[in-house]
Chain A
Amino acid sequence: MTTAHINTATHLGDSPVVIDIQGLNKWYGQFHVLKEINLQIRQQEKVVICGPSGSGKSTLIRTINRLEEHQEGRIVVDDEPLTNDVKQIERVRREVGMVFQQFNLFPHMTILDNVISGPIHVRNMPRKQAVDLAHSYLKRVGIAEQANKYPGQLSGGQQQRVAIARALAMQPKIMLFDEPTSALDPEMIKEVLDVMRELAEQGMTMICVTHEMGFAREVADTMVFMDKGQIVEYAPVKEFFTAPKEERSRMFLEQILNH
């Protein structure tokens, strides 16, 4: 199960690999949290990572933009290997957008200022251009009228959509989602998933940690099932849901689907 994976999503067969993880190991102190991870993700591929809580899903996607350091193995993102070089890390982060479970909007800035903060302070875009860009993304996620409010004045679902717009305003090549709907009330989950679905249709390369299996089945090309710091199963989405190979993934699916 720890051998290099062959990409089985046929329509992506000849797309370039944009994330290449090989022999990744990570420890928190003595605790071996990621074990021998190998994963290749191609341009425009949608990967959904699932697995029980504490299995290392968040840690894995956070190593991709160096929010977490790894001790062993090689991670190449968009032809840029991740090392301790700060400039290199910043270059990778510019191309990789991230959406967090807790939104993490900047509470002291308006919605508009949140969305233009990346383009202005990281891409050095002129303010006017950044504002136009921000408005177009806010419109895309359906928050155009709230641009001058503060995050605290918005509902959870709206805040998460702003967070997506903020990440998109950096015009990244890859988007990472870490349980983007887990902190939301049930009636708000759909509005966020709709935005993500649309993003997927437009061809964004996406890695999502989520328990929304309906969304996964519909959007994902590839499913990754993790347990205890390892990739237990890696399969095309259809295969994963109809004929999971591993006992542990089968049990996990049963638990989560019969709920």
Chain B
Amino acid sequence: MSEYTPSQNIPDRQPPATSVGIIGWVCKNLLCPWYNAVLTIVSCWAIWSAVAPFWEWAVTNASISLDPEVAKQHTGAAWGFIRDMWPVFMTGVYPAEERWRPLIALCIVVVLVSLSLVASYRRSRWLKILWFVSPIVVFALVYGGGITGLPVVGTHYWGGLMLTIMLSIVAMLAAFPISVLLALGRTSDMPIAKPFCVAYIELIRGVPLITLLFMASVVLPLFLPAGMELDKVLRALVGITMFFSAYLAENIRGGLQGISKGQYEAADALGMSYWKKTIVVILPQALRIVIPPMVNNFIGILKDTSLVGIVGLVDLLQIAFATTSNPKWFGRLEEAYVFIAFWYWILCYALSSYSQYLERKMPSASK
């Protein structure tokens, strides 16, 4: 048996160099043990062999000339095509002399978003009112006619990124309240509402979005009284909204089931009515739980609006096809795809970042 002498006054020391700093990090994560070093080398090689050709095409050998003949002398990308055609990518066949209208609409939205990001303005009643009237203003501006005195630009002229964004935002705004009601209906025990919600959700989820879009554009008009015609954009919106409200509803139902019975009982015991309880106590908690899957759904909406080409709308994706069949820049598909992919990515990434911000900001039960 060895004897233990309690030692005293051991001075603080620095940790060993292999566990701290850049050297420590590189050693721990990239090089040790030996198979990590092998993986590091293989991964670097794989990344390089994918990125290098793209870099050559997109940067080294690329041209930015607006003249297609000059671009043809380069083996790389012809970014002049994008420089030349980008307004078409943004607004489609919207008349060129009226393009300032969607531009101003965009500015309005950007200003509103920026103001909302300033914490001290966020709670102001004015901002809420502005948000409330902004869809009307944007629509009046882009569509024209009526009291605006601007020439009417019908929805069949709408296209490009503008159409993609409008379809997504309106579909999100419309699908959200519908899905909340569907989820509440499905979790309730109301005799008629519950089976209806279950049937709706299960039916819609069992059908591809393309089918719904076809139904909305071909079948929906059959149900309307003769002579009444539904706008093509509106029909596509109905299809997208129906589809995503079913998916969103299932997510929200998941959130509702995550709320403990005690929360319902506490609200009941205070004497809250069903709607007070739902709006004040249950939904704020349930929606917070489902922010990640809900944003996933919103990203899905954004990307899946690219299917509206099938019912004759010219969204961002269809613009890529249209501009590349233009004789001047014939066949520049790669540039067009990279450009629209970049836009889809920007929008989806913005959505995803906002959701992470929301999650961090909201107080949760676990904190």
* One of A35-43, A71-79, A115-123 contacting the partner: A115-123
A104-134 vs B, Cβ < 8 Å mask (1 yes, 0 no): 1111100000000110011000000000000
Chain B residues near A153: list those with CB within 8 A. Answer: 367
- Nearest residue in B to A117 (C-beta to C-beta)? B280
State A102–B365 Cα separation when bound (angstroms): 14
Whether A104 contacts B273 in the complex (CB less than 8 A), given A67-B268, A117-B280, comes out as no
Cβ-based interface call for A241 (8 A): no
A94 CB–B CB distance under 8 Å? yes
Interface residue count for B (Cβ, 8 Å)?
Answer: 24
Q: Please name all residues of chain B whose beta carbon is closer than 8 Å to the beta carbon of A104 when the two chains form the complex.
A: 260, 262-263, 265-266
CB closest residue in chain A, given B275:
A121
- A80 contacts partner chain B, Cβ-Cβ < 8 Å: no
CA distance A59 to B365 in the complex (A): 27
Within 8 Å by CB of B265, from A90, A100, A107, lies A100
Q: A106-B263, A121-B276 are in contact. Are A152 and B270 (CB under 8 A)?
A: no
**CB 8 Å contact bits of B349-367 with A (1 = contact, 0 = none):** 0000000000000111111
Q: Given A100-B262, A150-B363, A152-B366, do A108 and B285 touch, yes or no (CB 8 Å)?
A: yes
- Say yes or no for B271: interface residue by CB 8 A criterion: yes
CA distance A96 to B280 in the complex (A): 20
Q: Is A65 an interface residue (CB 8 A)?
A: yes
User: A221 vs B272: C-alpha distance in the bound complex, in angstroms?
Assistant: 31
A106 to B279, CA, bound (A): 13
Residue A93 at the B interface, CB < 8 A? yes
Contact of A192 with B by CB under 8 A: no
Contact status A67-B269, CB under 8 Å: yes
Q: Does B195 contact A (CB under 8 A)?
A: no
Q: A98 an interface residue at 8 Å Cβ cutoff? A: yes
A97 CB–B CB distance under 8 Å: yes
Mask of A45-86 contacts with B, CB within 8 angstroms, 1/0: 000000000000000000001010000000000000000001
A67 contacts across to B, CB distance below 8 A: 265, 268-269
On whether A108 and B365 interact (CB within 8 A), knowing A90-B273, A121-B276, the answer reads yes
Contacts of A166 in B (CB 8 A): 270
Cα distance A67–B365 in the bound complex, in angstroms: 24
Shortest C-beta distance, B256 to chain A (Å), equals 14
Min CB gap B142→A, angstroms: 38
Residues of B within 8 A of A108 (CB): 284-285, 288, 362-365
Q: How far is the CA of A98 from the CA of B288 in the complex (A)?
A: 27
Interchain CA distance A108-B366 in the complex, whole Å:
10
Evaluate whether A170 and B367 lie within 8 angstroms (CB atoms) in the complex, with A67-B265, A104-B262, A106-B281 already known: no
Q: A170 to B270, Cβ gap below 8 A? A: yes
In contact, A93 and B269 (Cβ under 8 angstroms): yes
In the complex, what residue of chain B is closest to A151 when comparing beta carbons? B365
A121 and B269 contacting across the interface, CB-CB below 8 Å:
no
- How far, in Å, is B114 (CB) from chain A's closest CB? 27
Contact B285 A107 (CB under 8 A): yes
- Give the shortest distance, in Å, between B10 (CB) and chain A (any CB): 36
Contact B271 A94 (CB under 8 A): yes
Residues in A whose Cβ lies below 8 Å from that of B263: 104, 106
- Which residue of A is nearest B268, CB measured? A67
A167 partner residues in chain B, CB cutoff 8 A: 269-270
**Residue of B271, B288, B367 contacting most chain A CB atoms (<10 Å):** B271
Return B280 CB to nearest CB of chain A, in Å. Answer: 5
A107 near B364: Cβ-Cβ < 8 Å:
yes
A108 to B276 Cα, complex, angstroms: 15
| B269 contacts across to A, CB distance below 8 A | 65, 67, 93, 96-98, 100, 167
Distance A100 CA – B276 CA, assembled complex (angstroms): 20
Return chain A residues, CB-CB under 8 Å to B365.
Answer: 107-108, 152
Q: Is the CB of B367 within 8 A of A150?
A: yes
Chain B proximity of A178: nearest CB distance (Å)? 10
Min Cβ gap B360→A in Å is: 14
Chain A hits for B276, CB < 8 A:
121-122
Query: In the assembly, what is the distance between CA of A209 and CA of B284, in Å?
Result: 32
Docked complex Cα distance between A121 and B275 (Å): 10
A106 to chain B, nearest CB (A): 6
Contact A105 B266 (CB under 8 A): yes
B367 pairs with A152, CB closer than 8 A: yes
Residues of A within 8 A of B (CB): 65, 67, 86, 90-91, 93-94, 96-98, 100, 102, 104-108, 117-118, 121-122, 150, 152-153, 166-167, 170
Interfacial residues, chain B to chain A (CB-CB below 8 A): 260, 262-263, 265-273, 276, 280-281, 284-285, 288, 362-367
A-B contact pairs, 10 of them (CB 8 A): A65-B269, A100-B269, A108-B363, A108-B365, A117-B280, A121-B276, A150-B367, A152-B364, A167-B269, A170-B271
6 A-B pairs with the lowest CB-CB distances in the bound complex, closest first: A93-B271, A107-B365, A104-B266, A104-B262, A98-B269, A94-B271
19 other A-B residue contacts (CB within 8 Å) besides A65-B268, A166-B270: A67-B265, A90-B272, A93-B268, A93-B269, A94-B271, A96-B269, A97-B269, A98-B266, A102-B262, A104-B260, A104-B266, A106-B267, A108-B285, A108-B362, A108-B363, A117-B270, A122-B276, A150-B367, A152-B364
